[in-house]
Chain A
Amino acid sequence: MSDIFFATAEMEEIGAASLAGPGDYVLLLKPRVMALVLFTALAGFLLAPSLPHPVIAFASLLAIAVGAGASGALNMWYDSDIDALMTRTKARPIPSGRLAREEALAFGLVLAGMAVLTLGLVANWLAAALLAFTIFFYVVIYTMWLKRSTPLNIVIGGAAGALPPMVGFAAATGDVSLSSFVLFAIIFIWTPPHFWALALLKSDDYGRAGVPMLPNVAGPDRTRLEILVYALLLAPVGMSPYLLGFASLAYGVVSAICGLLFVSFAVATFRERLGEAAKTNARRLFVFSILYLFLLFLTLVLERIMHLMAWAG
Chain B
Amino acid sequence: MKDGGLNMAGETPNGSREEAGIVLTPEQAKSRRARNVAIGLAVAAFIALLYVVTIVKLGGAVARPPV
Considering the complex, give the chain B residue whose CB is closest to the CB of A9: B22
Which of B22, B35, B53 meets A55, CB within 8 Å? B53
Cα A18 to Cα B27 in complex, Å, equals: 9
| Contact, CB under 8 Å: A20 / B53 | no
Band of interface residues on B: 10 to 19
Which of A2, A13, A21, A114 is the most central at the interface, judged by chain B CB atoms within 10 Å of its CB? A21
| Contact, CB under 8 Å: A18 / B31 | yes
Count of A residues near B, CB < 8 Å? 19
Q: Does B17 contact A (CB under 8 A)?
A: no
- Write out the residue numbers on chain A whose beta carbons fall within 8 Å of the beta carbon of B44: none
- Write out the residue numbers on chain B whose beta carbons fall within 8 Å of the beta carbon of A122: 53
Cα A114 to Cα B50 in complex, Å, equals: 12
Query: Given the interface contacts A22-B34, A22-B35, A25-B38, does A17 sit within 8 Å of B24 by beta carbon?
Result: yes
The interface bits of chain B over 17-50 (1 if a CB of A lies within 8 angstroms of the residue's CB, else 0) are 0000010100110011011011000000010011
| Contact, CB under 8 Å: B22 / A12 | yes
The interface bits of chain A over 78-103 (1 if a CB of B lies within 8 angstroms of the residue's CB, else 0) are 00000000000000000000000000
| Contact, CB under 8 Å: A13 / B28 | no
| Contact, CB under 8 Å: B38 / A55 | no
Cα A2 to Cα B32 in complex, Å, equals: 27
| Contact, CB under 8 Å: B35 / A16 | no
- Write out the residue numbers on chain A whose beta carbons fall within 8 Å of the beta carbon of B28: 16-19
| Contact, CB under 8 Å: A16 / B53 | no
Considering the complex, give the chain B residue whose CB is closest to the CB of A6: B3
- Write out the residue numbers on chain A whose beta carbons fall within 8 Å of the beta carbon of B3: 2
| Contact, CB under 8 Å: A21 / B49 | no
Considering the complex, give the chain B residue whose CB is closest to the CB of A59: B53
| Contact, CB under 8 Å: B24 / A16 | yes
Interface residues of A in 46-85 (CB under 8 A from B): 53, 55-56, 59, 62
Query: Given the interface contacts A22-B38, A25-B38, A55-B56, does A16 sit within 8 Å of B49 by beta carbon?
Result: no
Cα A12 to Cα B22 in complex, Å, equals: 9
Interface residues of A in 1-27 (CB under 8 A from B): 2, 12-13, 16-22, 25
| Contact, CB under 8 Å: B35 / A21 | yes
| Contact, CB under 8 Å: A20 / B49 | no
Min C-beta distance of B20 to chain A, whole Å: 11
Query: Given the interface contacts A55-B52, A55-B53, A59-B53, does A13 sit within 8 Å of B31 by beta carbon?
Result: no
- Write out the residue numbers on chain A whose beta carbons fall within 8 Å of the beta carbon of B56: 53, 55-56
Q: A21-B34, A56-B56 are in contact. List 6 more A-B contacts (CB 8 A).
A: A16-B24, A17-B22, A21-B31, A22-B37, A22-B38, A118-B50
**Sample (13) of A-B pairs whose CB atoms are under 8 Å apart:** A2-B3, A13-B22, A16-B24, A16-B28, A18-B31, A18-B35, A21-B31, A22-B35, A25-B38, A55-B52, A55-B56, A114-B46, A122-B53
